[in-house]
Amino acid sequence: MIIGRYYIDHKSVVPKIVIGALIALVAIFPLFTTNMVTLSIIILSGIWAIAVMGFLLILRTGQFSLGQAAFMAIGGYVSAILTVKMGMSYWPSFVAAGIISGVIAFIIGIVVLRAGGIYFSIITIAFGEIVRIVAMNWESVTQGASGILTHAPESLTVGNLEINFAASVVPYYYFMLLLVTVSALFYWQIDRTRIGGTFRSVAANPVLAEHLGINLMKHRLIAFTVAGLFTGLAGAYYVTFLSVMNPLIFDLWKSVQIMMMTIVGGMGSIVGGPIIGATLLYTLGIYLSRVPIPNIQYLVFGGVVVLLLLVLPKGTGLVDQWGKLWRRVFGEPEDFQMPGEEGMDEE
Amino acid sequence: MPLLELKGIIKFFGKLAALENIDLQVNKGEILGIVGPNGSGKTTLINLISGYYRPTRGTIYFDGRKISGLRPDQIARLGIVRTFQSNVLFEGASVIESMMISSRLQYKTNEWQAFWETKAYKDEHEKIVGNALNTLRFVNIFNETFRPAAALPHGFQRMLGIGVALAANPSVLLIDEPTTGMNHEEAMGVVENIREINKQGVTVVLIEHNMRVLLNIATRVIVLNFGNKIADGDPHEMMSKPEVVEAYLGTETL
Ligand SMILES: Nc1ncnc2c1ncn2[C@@H]1O[C@H](COP(=O)(O)OP(=O)(O)OP(=O)(O)O)[C@@H](O)[C@H]1O
Ligand SMILES: [Mg+2]
């Protein structure tokens, strides 16, 4: 675990120029192909990555949430109900989805975070199931198992550019990029500044942290609420992209997948790990869904995760391994710049 | 008015009475030594003051305000900070990282300013990193600044424990056996540290097995035995009381 970088100086392992080039490539990708399948895979990988970042933020405080898909469900239902049942336009419903999901996370957090540890994980599983059961049975609002058919966001006009979501998948692509960028920046900034360090201390040694004046509950609650907010937004995106919302989309298996994506990507970087983990596993899932063997996805995903846990050093994922490889090839990032370093020579 | 006051404190663990009816006053500016054989309830006393445990009965006041029942973080924020008898660390953190976590209470800027890294936050942060480095210099582990705390030898970890507690801005410092397992030189460094900390205006409660250390720096000593306070007074006078010597006999070198 690295806390000091966050306090003193923070230089990314991978140089800015490489990251910049990657971002630029992603940004102009629709110029190369507008293939629906290819773009859809990238789009949904990005959306899952947002949920995975949330999972990882909660994990930073030492809590293992197995109910994160439920917040996507909440965001999805809020948007679907507001637009289809109440005639609201998509954009305000999208914002409302994030806010309501965040508020629910806050309230649920007050109740379940008291438990902590393994109890927290179990209660979050139960929470996810409760959301699913409510969605299934509250037919007057959610239309039960048959679900709600949603529509595309209203067209936007920026300057004299008309952005029409009904016409092509490209606007969805850029909407996704914007959403992932904003979420990632927010998560990244939390993770690398003071509060991120505090989160880690809460996980590393809650007793010591508490004796140093850190309010454990407050910090766990902040992480859980922020994750709930962005995960809700991801859910609201998901349903308009899929054009449907029903109780089966975000089940326990999806929450487990979010955890698995975290493991595959690794926990070093709150942005890089989730993006890589989500992209790899989501893409793998798409290909597996074409294999005519029942339950193959469960088997392969489970196998991949177990293998990684066995092969890779504890707590690291692919991103961290690549980081190590990168450092071996290109050298360490520049070291700390200590404040008051000048004065040290006289000792 | 005493700075810290324990009234009728009783602590049971199941049927075991770790503390039986303790009344204790800690005055501002003193170094109060606590001695007593193993299992006499010294650490339990600190655990109660710091809020780790709640007393079974009795009340603790700080500056006239009731603090028993508060959480440890609330008590720490009031200025009562403790160290631990065993080396307690942040898993995976370096020395400076551990210091920065415990420096949290020094920040005046709020979470939102820190998130946006405003100028006020950055200035403050730089100052607090400087404080942390100075504290490391003070407790004699400056050369270990960037090492993982868990990789330090035992003695250095004990010193880090004190440094970490100091970074949390205590007005009362509760120190639990700081010199155990240290060589003579290290122990003397710690003793000097405690004296200096106290000189800066911090009230110190010090659990220490080594009587020589206590005689050296404590301004008052209490003796615990089987959860009871059996003596309270001047350290040198204390050593002439038969019941104290008896409680101590065979447990430590006087
Ligand atoms: N959490 C606990 N649960 C049960 N019993 C406990 C607990 N903490 C302390 N005790 C018991 O309370 C008594 C006092 O323990 P305490 O740790 O306060 O002693 P101490 O004076 O600090 O001893 P030492 O010199 O060995 O550190 C002991 O009998 C101990 O076994
Ligand atoms: Mg003890």
Q: How confident is the model at residue A11, as a pLDDT?
A: 55
Query: Which of B48, B43, B51 lies closest to B76, judged by CA?
Result: B51
Which residues of A fall within a CB distance of 8 Å from B53?
A: none
Lowest mean pLDDT among A146-150, A159-163, A186-190, B98-102: A159-163
Q: Does A189 touch chain B (CB under 8 A)?
A: yes
Average pLDDT on A92-114 reads 95
Question: Is residue A295 domain-resident?
Answer: no
* CA neighbor of A136 nearest in space, from A147, A126, A127: A147
Residue A152 lies in a domain: yes
Average pLDDT over residues A270-291: 91
Q: Which of A233, A252, A271 is the last residue of a domain?
A: A252
Distance between CA atoms of residues B74 and B54, nearest Å: 14
The domain of A6 spans: 1-32
Contact A198 B104 (CB under 8 A): yes
Best residue among B15, B19, B42 to mutate for probing ligand 1's pocket (most ligand atoms within 8 Å of CB) is B42
**Any idea what DSSP says for residue A83?**
I
Tell me whether residues B164 and A212 touch, CB distance under 8 A.
yes
Contact assignment for B101 to A209 by CB distance below 8 Å: yes
Q: How many CB pairs under 8 A join A and B?
A: 111
Which residues from B are below 8 Å from A213, CB to CB?
73, 76-77, 81, 102, 104-105, 168
pLDDT at A330: 66
Assess whether pLDDT exceeds 80 at residue A115. no
Say yes or no to pLDDT of A61 above 50.
yes
Residues A80 and A209 in one domain: yes
Q: A17 with A54, same domain?
A: no
Same-domain status, A133 and A21: no
User: Do residue A16 and residue A78 come from a single domain?
Assistant: no
Domain-embedded: residue A307: no
Q: CA A47: distance to chain centroid? A: 7
> A163 in a domain, yes or no?
yes
Percent of chain B with pLDDT over 90: 78
Q: Quick check: B108 contacting A, CB < 8 Å?
A: no
Q: Is A279 a member of any domain?
A: no
Do A124 and A234 lie in a common domain?
yes
Is A47 a member of any domain?
yes
What tens digit of pLDDT does each residue of B22-63 get?
Answer: 999 999 999 999 998 899 999 999 999 999 999 999 999 999
Residues with CB under 5 A from ligand 2 (ion): B 42-43, 85
Please write the tens of the pLDDT for every residue from B159-199: 999 999 999 999 999 999 999 989 989 999 999 999 999 99
Q: Give the residue among A333, A167, A151, A179 at the shortest CA–CA distance from A241.
A: A151
Identify whether residues A87 and A213 lie together within a single domain.
yes
Identify whether residues A198 and A106 lie together within a single domain.
yes
**A342 lies in a domain?**
no
Res. A92: pLDDT tops 70: yes
Q: Decide whether any atom of ligand 1 lies within 6 Å of the B18 Cβ.
A: yes
Residue in chain B lying closest to A205 (CA): B90
Instruction: Give the integer Cα–Cα distance in Å for A282 and A265.
Output: 12
Task: Let me know whether A153 and A18 are in one domain.
Answer: no
**Can you say whether residue B226 is alpha, beta or left, with left for phi > 0 and alpha for psi between -120 and 50 degrees?**
left
- Total domains in the fold of chain A: 2
Q: What does the pLDDT average to over A161-175? A: 85
Q: Which one has a higher pLDDT value, B52 or B232? A: B52
In chain B, what are the domains? 1-79+170-254 (3.40.50.300), 91-167 (no CATH)
Q: Do A20 and A108 fall within a single domain?
A: no
